[in-house]
Amino acid sequence: MLSKSYCWKAALAIGFAAVAWGGTFGTVVSIGGQASDVALDEPRGLLYIANFTANRVDVMSLANNTIQTSINVPAQPSALAVSPDDHFLVVAHFGNAAPPGSSTNALSVIDLGSNAIQTFALGSPPLGVAFGIDGMALVVTTTDFLLFDPVSGSTIELDTIAGVSAKTLPQPAGSTPTSIVAASVAASADGLTIYGLGDTLVFRYAVTNRALSASLYTAAPPLGPRVVSVSQDGSSFTAGWTLEDRYFFDISEFPNPSGILNVGTTAIDSAHNLIYAQVRAKGDQPSPVLQIVDADNLTVESKLNLPENFAGRSVLSSDGSTLYGVSDSGVMVLTVGSLSAAHQVVATQEDMVFRGNFCDRSVATQVLTVVDPSGGNTAFSITSNTPGLSVSPSSGVTPATILVTVDPNVFASQKGTVVAALQLQSDQAVNIPKAVRVLINSREPVQRGIFVDVPGVLVDMLADPTQNRFYLLRQDLNQVQVYDGTNNTLIATLRTGNVPKGMAIARDAFNRQYLLVGCDSAQYVSVFDLQTLQPTQPIRMQNGDYVQSLAAANNAILAVTRSSAGLDPSIHSIDLGTRSSTRLPSLGVFQNKVALNSVLVASTNGSSILLASTDGSVMLYDANSHSFTASRKDFTSLSGAYAASNFNQYVVGNNVLDSSLVPLGKLEVGTGAPSGFAFVDQFAFRTTAPGPPAGSVQSTAPGIIQRIDPTNLTSNVTRATPMVEAPLLGITGAAFTRTLAPLYSRTAIINLTVSGFTVLPWNYDAALAPPQITSVVNAADLTVPIAPGGLISVFGTQFSSVNLATNAVPLPTQLADTCLSVNGQPVPIRLVSLTQVNGQMPFEAIGDVTMILRTPGGTSNNYNLKVLPGAPAVFYNASAGPDTNLPTVFRGDDGLLVTDSHPVHRKDNADLVIYLTGLGQTNPAVGDGLPSPSNPLAVPLNAPGVTLGGVSLPVVSYNLTPGQVGWYQIEVNVPTSVPTGLSVPLVIAQGQNSTSLAVRVVD
């Protein structure tokens, strides 16, 4: 027997070879026939392959992936299983011949020690076979479940089945074993549970107590690929495109499946919480692609190119390193354990954002990094099809730095955000690289709001009704993103089921503590505790129902569901206490039958829930009567924004409805399609956007936000304010949009927009006063001396309507509608607030300069100041425990901050590192707002001098801090001759300017 290490090396070599052959992952082993099943015999280093059409079992060596022998067996070996003691190989033969032929359904037992074969006739076509830990093989036929003892050859009938049919032989040319047998049976790795799947049958067999749970099912499309894979402990299994629990409820589904039986596979890797899957979706390209997805909610982690399609069962080696699966040519071998060493290409950023800047229309450049996670050198190309967006170089070898350049003048007329893409391609890489989304915003001062980039597909948004938070639903990653409304930062992400569609917050009975998320590809509604931001027990919907939309009134939680059982979409009532749901028998006097594309929304006081459907119908649930009290169809179709007020008014699209859902009137349509609507007390906010350009799904023009008086519908046009970018518009399949969320604190309005979300202050439409600058100081110790390249703080009034800081590199030259210039040159900005802007004085600014600040409110008066060649200033932004605003002086021996309790020691020539700003221009020169280089270091042109207690300290080095913007550092020695004391002056001087601070020095 080969050693494991030898097998591993061989597998690695195969994996690499496959990669080198042209950007696919895996090796194909052709068997000269059509494989129907595989079984691993790891102790012998063998893989048994049922060759359905050649009537043999091919035996493949795991060491070199070659067929070393074949065992001739009776006709049509359709399924295989190896006994737990590796003594027997049981082979099922599907011989369901149509008259006048005679059926040859049988079971063979091969003694793997002696190679002796015994064959037993079966009365019905076998669907599959699997061994339990007890050494008995479960054989499933179209009529019964049999327990077969391979030692004695005896058979026990566990139960019978009715209503299961099988295809008869012969079948038309081109048929495959998977589509003929159309069944799969598999055991968990612990051997305690066996699951099986046929065209209409799904079952679970508990080995320990020999208990069967079986049921007939319907699925549209069919459950393909027709493969069952079971988790290690049998708690979940894949059945075609579904991931199910032991009760046959869908934990998650692969979205939009094609249902093809004979293309694809699934294999659960419980040790790594992953599933390897090829499940073709409708509309997918025919090229074979393997998805690696999370084993709980099927979130796609990566996609790999395969050399050919899988076509049935896959099995993982016990160490999870190698995947063997039935494929078109026979068997495909994937060394998944060495995937991290295979060539791949990824961009380190999902999105790149170029913000519009009405101070600066010069060409903007950012850096995109392309890497191979394996650390290898992989060739790639990168392209842009958007005029005005260019990359250089357009091809390279990883790791590579790509300069992405945007000419703002090309996009100046958009006055919104253009979404472009950079396509990565590689003939070497085995993965399918994700495109990089490039957001290019162009704006005028009159456009309000600050947009925050959130990559991915955002489909819903809610503001927390009791605290200053809001929640975004990112569908492509199956997560709820929790944002702090005070600073609009992400504070948590919560995992949902697959393809989340809508959210609701449970009301009074649960103290608004629980967030519910319905998913289009999961039968469970995710429930999160909003206090702890942790998942709680989910709600199991009735079998076959998938939540499309949710809303919570005071006494009911309602859900619109679609049915995979062929029933009409309907309304379900959810009981959060029991975590269960019930399909309502009727909706008051109305039938419980709604259009598939329907949404629910509750009034903020919980008195009512509005249902709106794309077919133009609306319904109203009234919490007082605990029933649906109105149902109308006054429109041929509905889409766009939807909202319910506390004052018996409702909005769907551009239509305003009264308490009986009778149309009251229409909102204006001149500003575009409705996107968001939110009632706040007796007024409301509304957003609209012009239609998208051809070929795009979202508008590139500015959106409009309106402050609306619902009692005077014609007044809103005059209160329209252009936004920085357009709110999201509905798309096919998601015609309704909830994109507006006024925060509980009433400090801001959050909008789902093209780039992610846009923050508007509550008084976004208030008249703005022009800004005024009152002082300019260095940002380190807030004193007046300033040097080129140094960080500065500008103080004054009316700088910005919001507080916003950025860690973007390079620093933007406009932030939150505010931009600053010195002698006409844009100033990189890190922070803006009402009274303060922090930024970096341009390196070219020296001598007497003039500063101007621009906001949507206007332009400040000129502010004249003097910029010195050097003006060292130590930062006072360090902290130690509760002590803050400490100078940034660090000891070299342990890298910790110098404080009174962590003083300078004058023995042993100890090192100190001082972080400061204001050391002026450097060699080499560094661009404004750019991080400082590490090789070579950027060294100030004028050397600084440092004294401690009047004793000159040897300067070891002085330079801009690599990777930082505007930060310098000086490293000095502390000789033994410096005086000790509790407060010894440390003086940093450069030219005629100096700064001083006190440190404690001890022996």
Partner 1 sequence: MKHCIYAMSFVLLAGAPAALAQKWEVGVAGGGSFYTSQTITNPAGNADAGLAKGFAVSGWLGNNVSNLIGGELRYDYEHSGLRLSSGGTSVNFGGMTNAIHYDFLLHLAPSESPVRPFLAAGAGVKVYSGTGTEQPFQPLSNIALLTKTQEVKPLVSVGGGIKFALAKNALLRVEVHDFLTPFPQNVIAPNAGSKTGGWLQDFVVMAGLSFGF
Nearer to partner 1, 513 or 899 (CB): 899
Closest to partner 1 by CB, 887 vs 918, is 887
Is residue 530 exposed (0-12), middle (13-18) or buried (19+ Cβ within 10 Å)? buried
Which residues, 67 to 96, sit near partner 1 by CB under 8 A?
Answer: none
Burial zone of 180 (CB within 10 Å; 0-12 exposed, 13-18 middle, 19+ buried): buried
Residue 372 Cβ, how far from partner 1 at the closest point, in Å? 41
Contact present, 502 and 548 (Cβ < 8 Å): yes
Token representation of residue 942: 């004028």
Distance separating alpha carbons of residues 911 and 512, to the nearest angstrom = 56
Q: Which is nearer to partner 1, 284 or 900 (CB)?
A: 900
Helix (H) or strand (E) holding 177: helix 177-181
Spell out where 240-359 has E strands.
242-245, 250-253, 265-269, 274-278, 289-294, 300-305, 310-316, 323-327, 330-334, 346-347, 351-354
Would you state the structure tokens that stand for residue 761, as one six-digit string? Answer: 């202050």
Q: How far is the CB of 1003 from partner 1 (least distance, A)?
A: 5
Closest contact distance (angstroms) between CB of 984 and partner 1 is 13
Min dist. Cβ of residue 897 to partner 1 (A): 4
- Which CB, 637 or 884, lies closer to partner 1? 884
Spell out the residues 6+ positions from residue 591 whose beta carbon is closer than 8 angstroms to its own: none
Binding mask 818-857 for partner 1 (x = CB under 8 A): ----------------------------------------
C-alpha pair distances (Å), 1002 with each of 655, 979, 988? 77, 8, 20
Measured from the CB atom, the residue of 565 and 982 that comes closer to partner 1 is: 982
Site for partner 1 in 691-750 (CB under 8 A): none
- The single residue among 69, 218, 983, 996 that binds partner 1, judged by CB under 8 A, is 983
Q: Under the criterion CB under 8 A, does residue 883 sit at the interface with partner 1?
A: yes
Q: Taking CB under 8 A as the criterion, which residues in 613-672 touch partner 1?
A: none
The answer to whether the beta carbons of residues 809 and 792 sit under 8 Å apart is no
Q: Which is nearer to partner 1, 508 or 883 (CB)?
A: 883
From 288-296, 344-352, 664-672, 892-900, give the range in contact with partner 1 by CB under 8 A: 892-900
Min CB(883)–partner 1 separation in Å:
6
CA atoms within 13 A of residue 257's CA, in its CB half-sphere: 28
Side by side, which strands form the sheet with 106-111? Answer: 77-82, 88-93, 106-111, 117-121
Strand partners, 652: 642, 655
Cβ nearer to partner 1, comparing 374 with 980:
980
Considering only 90-98, 219-227, 513-521, 879-887, which stretch makes contact with partner 1 by CB under 8 A? 879-887
Binding segment (CB under 8 A) for partner 1, from list 649-657, 726-734, 898-906, 922-930? 898-906
Shortest distance in whole angstroms from residue 969 CB to partner 1 = 18
> Which of the ranges 202-210, 360-368, 569-577, 881-889 carries the binding residues for partner 1, by CB under 8 A?
881-889
Q: CB-wise, 151 or 896, nearer to partner 1?
A: 896
Site residues (CB under 8 A) for partner 1, limited to 953-982 = 982
Q: Which is nearer to partner 1, 154 or 879 (CB)?
A: 879
Query: Which residues from 899-918 bind partner 1, rule CB under 8 A?
Result: 899-903, 905
Residue whose CB is less far from partner 1, 923 or 996: 996
What are phi and psi for residue 700, nearest 5 degrees? -100, 0
Applying CB under 8 A, the span of 375-383, 521-529, 694-702, 891-899 interacting with partner 1 comes to: 891-899
Q: Which amino acid is at 640?
A: G
Decide if residue 881 touches partner 1 (CB under 8 A): yes
Q: Which is nearer to partner 1, 154 or 909 (CB)?
A: 909
Residue 1002 sits in the site that holds partner 1 (CB under 8 A)? yes
The torsion angles phi and psi of 490, rounded to 5 degrees, stand at: -75, 125
Distance CA 832, CA 855 (A): 11
Strands, sheet with 570-575, edge to edge from the N-terminal-most edge strand = 500-505, 514-519, 524-529, 534-540, 580-583, 570-575, 557-563, 545-552
Backbone angles phi, psi at 685, to 5 degrees: -110, 145
Close Cβ partners of 543 (under 8 Å, ≥ 6 residues apart): 248, 249, 523, 565
> Token pair of 625, please?
């009567």
Stretch that binds partner 1, among 51-59, 325-333, 678-686, 895-903 (CB under 8 A): 895-903
Minimum distance from residue 891 beta carbon to partner 1 (Å): 9
Which of the ranges 186-194, 715-723, 796-804, 874-882 carries the binding residues for partner 1, by CB under 8 A? Answer: 874-882
Q: Which of 2, 371, 397, 897 binds partner 1 (CB under 8 A)?
A: 897
Q: What is the dihedral of CA 172, 173, 179, 185, to 10 degrees?
A: 110
Residue located via tokens 């379900």? 572
Among 271, 769, 896, 956, binds partner 1 (CB under 8 A): 896
Torsion angle, alpha carbons of 390, 393, 394, 400, to 10: -120
Closer to partner 1 at the Cβ: 615 or 900?
Answer: 900
Query: Whole-number minimum distance, CB 977 to partner 1, in Å?
Result: 17
* Residue 898 engages partner 1 in binding (rule: CB under 8 A): yes
Compute φ and ψ for 15, nearest 5 degrees: -60, -45
Q: Any contact of residue 566 with partner 1 (CB under 8 A)? A: no
For residue 892, the minimal CB distance to partner 1 (Å) is 14
Q: Residue 635 or 890: which CB sits closer to partner 1?
A: 890
Quick one: which of 347, 345, 349 has its CA closest to 439? 349
Q: By CB under 8 A, what part of segment 34-63 binds partner 1?
A: none
Compare residues 616 and 903 and give the one whose CB is closer to partner 1. Answer: 903
Among 585, 824, 882, 936, the residue binding partner 1 under the rule CB under 8 A is 882
Q: What is the dihedral of CA 482, 484, 487, 489, to 10 degrees?
A: -30
For residue 284, the minimal CB distance to partner 1 (Å) is 58
Which of the ranges 81-89, 350-358, 693-701, 893-901 carries the binding residues for partner 1, by CB under 8 A?
A: 893-901
Nearer to partner 1, 306 or 874 (CB): 874
Residues in contact with partner 1, counted by CB under 8 A, come to a total of 19
204's CB contacts (< 8 A; 6+ apart) are 193, 194, 195, 212, 213, 214, 246, 248
Q: How far is the CB of 1000 from partner 1 (least distance, A)?
A: 8
Among 379, 880, 910, 939, binds partner 1 (CB under 8 A): 880
The strand pair at 211-216 and 228-230 is best described as: unpaired
Angle 83-89-93 from CA coordinates, rounded to 5° = 125
Residue 948 within binding range of partner 1, rule CB under 8 A: no
Nearer to partner 1 by Cβ, of 303 and 902: the residue is: 902
Q: Structure tokens of 385?
A: 């099809």
Cβ-based nearer residue to partner 1, 681 or 883: 883
Three-state secondary structure call for residue 468: coil
d(C-alpha 969, C-alpha 933), whole Å = 13
> 3-class DSSP state for residue 175?
coil
- Among the candidate windows 173-181, 608-616, 628-636, 878-886, which touches partner 1 by CB under 8 A? 878-886
| Amino acid in position 844 | E
Please state, in angstroms and rounded to a whole number, the distance separating the CA atoms of residues 659 and 608: 10
User: Cβ of residue 960: shortest distance to partner 1, in angstroms?
Assistant: 25
CB closer to partner 1, 805 vs 897: 897
Q: Does 271 bind partner 1 (CB under 8 A)?
A: no
**How far apart are alpha carbons 572 and 383 in whole angstroms?**
48
Interface residues with partner 1 (CB under 8 A) are: 880-883, 886, 896-903, 905, 982-983, 1000, 1002-1003
